[in-house]
A and B are shown apart, each in its own frame.
Chain A
Amino acid sequence: MTIATSAAPPPTHNRSVARGFLTGGVMGASLAAIVVGIVIENEPLIAGGAFLLAVYVLIRYLAGMPRRAREAAIPPYLALAMIESLEAVGGETSDIPVKFDLTVAPDDAPAYRVEFTQDINLADLTDYRPRGILVVQYPPDRPLKVRIVKRPTPDWEERAASAHLDSAPGPALASDPLEGCGATLVGFLGLLLGAALVVLLFRADLFDRDDTDTARPSVSSSSTSSSSTTTVSSASGTVALGPGQSFLDQGRLGSSVAVLAKGEDKHRALTVVVQERLLTVVLAPTGTQAASRLDLDSLPYDRVPALVKEATTTLGVGSPRTWQLTADRLTGRVALRVSVTGSEDTAYLEADEQGKVVRRVSVGG
């Protein structure tokens, strides 16, 4: 096989540092976006984090294609080398990492010293001794990326057997100057900065949420007008009407519910209880996914007066004194139950989400 030998200038490592930092940063940002997205229940942020990572990997792959194609098109250079020193640097397996310091002597370029680590089988370790001659290979444009050829072809075997090399002046150049803690530290720094950036951008959502989650159960607001008293906490809301008013008045029930539950709270209700002058909405805790939640917008408020009237007049309750409407979704579908209590007995009827009566339980029935 045609072999060319040459020593190109050592590559600069600034780009490697920048690439390591960028990789760490993108990984940190992506992972933080996924975690923050899960915490604040932000699906686009989760998808964005995963997408960013995928796009970065793709870009790195595509960007490396020309170099890989260039390197693949040219055979690696072969050269003789002499072992200056070697040291096993650990390992519990049969292939142990050995740190080599070699003088590499290309045919048409000055000899140079290089230091690198390569796995060597324990049984073959005796083949590698100081001053021993080896055959090495490296990519044409990266003479420091040296690897020992363990099975050279017969002609190179002969050259190695008969060669005598002089040591090149040191110090040996590291094959990968960033290996060790340097590269790890730069990448880790990028990772921290990327993650911190994402957390900083979404700090409002993160910390507001924390505040709300921890503080809500103990905080409630209360407002009083001339006609009603409204109390709202994270767990429930209550509206108490003043004398001479009723939730059977036209439009009052719907407007009172709207005051109690706004925004996402409209979808957090578990139960709505209405009496003549008292409205209570029980809310599910934030962050839970109860299947029995009510959509407060979908309840038939306009039908409530008619249902109460029907219950008080048709169920046989003598001298009806109080009524109560309960709406929930405990059985999976929205159910309204209007109970009427008289002097001696109680009866009730049930209606569906459109306010249509589906069941009557009369006195004695």
Chain B
Amino acid sequence: MDWHMYQALWCGVFGAWALVGYGRSLAGMTRAQRTVRATGRIERVDEPRHGSSPSDGIAVVVSFQDPATGQEFTVTNEGERGERISVAWTGREIGVHYPRGRPHAFRFANDLSEGGRGLGWPTFAVFLVYAGLVAVAAIDRGWPWALLGFCGPWALSGLYHLPGNIRDRNRRIDQLAAMAAVPGRVVAVLKSVTVDSNDGHTLTNLMPVVTFTTLDGREVTAYCESGIPDPAGSRGLDLTIHYAPDDPALFVLDVEAERRSWKRDMAINVVGVLVVVAAAVVGVVAL
């Protein structure tokens, strides 16, 4: 069979997938559109046990109300319940999502924002169709079409979003300057041991848990994923925690290191866009 037939099949299958996805979105039938989004409130936070697993998140009791029936529910983050809760304090609001009419199938989300229209997979299918067409052009007409086809749209998108990304980084750097500093303490170090099935090597993941009290009296328990040099022996370590007063979930241990990290991130972003633009230009010139 001519390989162009495979290409046509590829584009046909993923094109159909995209069409079905966009159709479902227009009809309001995607999972994201049928999801009920409620706001839950953390009623109780249990201090993690030293040495236990970090995968289930901080144990919390959450209450939420079904907007359709007004019924109150009290639940815990037992089992697979969406996003891991890694920062918790009594009174914190978190997102609770569930299919319409099935509040028992709830899932947690750290972000309270509204959901999208469920266009992620259809858009991915369109990308696959586009990638197939670029591959055909590159094979039939030469490599410059691959550079232009892949890097061109990426470069345009990067240039379009670059000013917004830089503003976002600057906002985060400003946010660091406005952080409040309070004393904190490592109350437990959680441990997860996995074995690589291929080579049998053991991989140990350590997650220190810190607690601190904000200036307005909120007692925060949080996983501290970075910033502690020796996590294994850090239990009982006293620290200074810098947190954003309007959202204690945003906290750091070393403000200067964080500031350098954001500046480096901004530079990498700019260089990345320039590289992609250069690759697209090379593609155009070589046509």
Q: How large is the interface on A (under 10, 10 to 19, 20 to 34, 35 or more residues)?
A: 20 to 34
Is there a chain A Cβ closer than 8 Å to B53's Cβ? yes
A94–B75 alpha-carbon span in the complex (Å) = 26
Q: For residue B194, which residues in chain A have a CB less than 8 angstroms away from its CB?
A: 93-94
Q: Which residues B29-83 have CB closer than 8 A to chain A? A: 44, 49-53, 56, 59, 61, 73-79
Nearest-neighbour CB distance to chain A for B68, whole angstroms, equals 15
Residues of B in contact (CB 8 Å), total: 29
Is there a chain B Cβ closer than 8 Å to A288's Cβ? no
Assess whether B74 is in contact with A153, with CB atoms less than 8 Å apart.
Answer: yes
A72–B104 alpha-carbon span in the complex (Å) = 9
Is there a chain A Cβ closer than 8 Å to B202's Cβ? yes
Per-position 1/0 for B166-177, Cβ under 8 A of A? 000000000000
Is there a chain B Cβ closer than 8 Å to A63's Cβ? no
Given contacts A121-B52, A121-B53, A151-B59, contact A94 B78 (CB under 8 A): no
Nearest-neighbour CB distance to chain A for B86, whole angstroms, equals 16
Nearest-neighbour CB distance to chain B for A59, whole angstroms, equals 19
Q: For residue B103, which residues in chain A have a CB less than 8 angstroms away from its CB?
A: 1
A76–B104 alpha-carbon span in the complex (Å) = 9
Q: For residue B44, which residues in chain A have a CB less than 8 angstroms away from its CB?
A: 154
Which residue from chain A places its CB closest to the CB of B202 in the assembled complex?
Answer: A92
Per-position 1/0 for B69-113, Cβ under 8 A of A? 000011111110000000000000000000101111100000000
Given contacts A72-B102, A121-B52, contact A149 B78 (CB under 8 A): yes
Is there a chain A Cβ closer than 8 Å to B259's Cβ? no
Q: Out of B73, B77, B102, B105, name the residue touching A151 (CB < 8 Å).
A: B77
Assess whether B61 is in contact with A124, with CB atoms less than 8 Å apart.
Answer: no
Assess whether B74 is in contact with A94, with CB atoms less than 8 Å apart.
Answer: no
Assess whether B78 is in contact with A122, with CB atoms less than 8 Å apart.
Answer: no
Nearest-neighbour CB distance to chain B for A90, whole angstroms, equals 12
Assess whether A124 is in contact with B74, with CB atoms less than 8 Å apart.
Answer: no
Q: Using CB atoms and an 8 Å cutoff, list the residues of chain A in contact with chain B.
A: 1, 43, 72-73, 75-76, 92-95, 121-124, 149-155
New A-B pairs, 11, CB < 8 Å, besides A93-B194, A153-B76, A154-B61: A72-B99, A73-B101, A76-B104, A93-B192, A93-B195, A94-B191, A94-B192, A123-B50, A124-B52, A151-B59, A153-B74
Q: Using CB atoms and an 8 Å cutoff, list the residues of chain B in contact with chain A.
A: 1, 44, 49-53, 56, 59, 61, 73-79, 99, 101-105, 191-195, 202
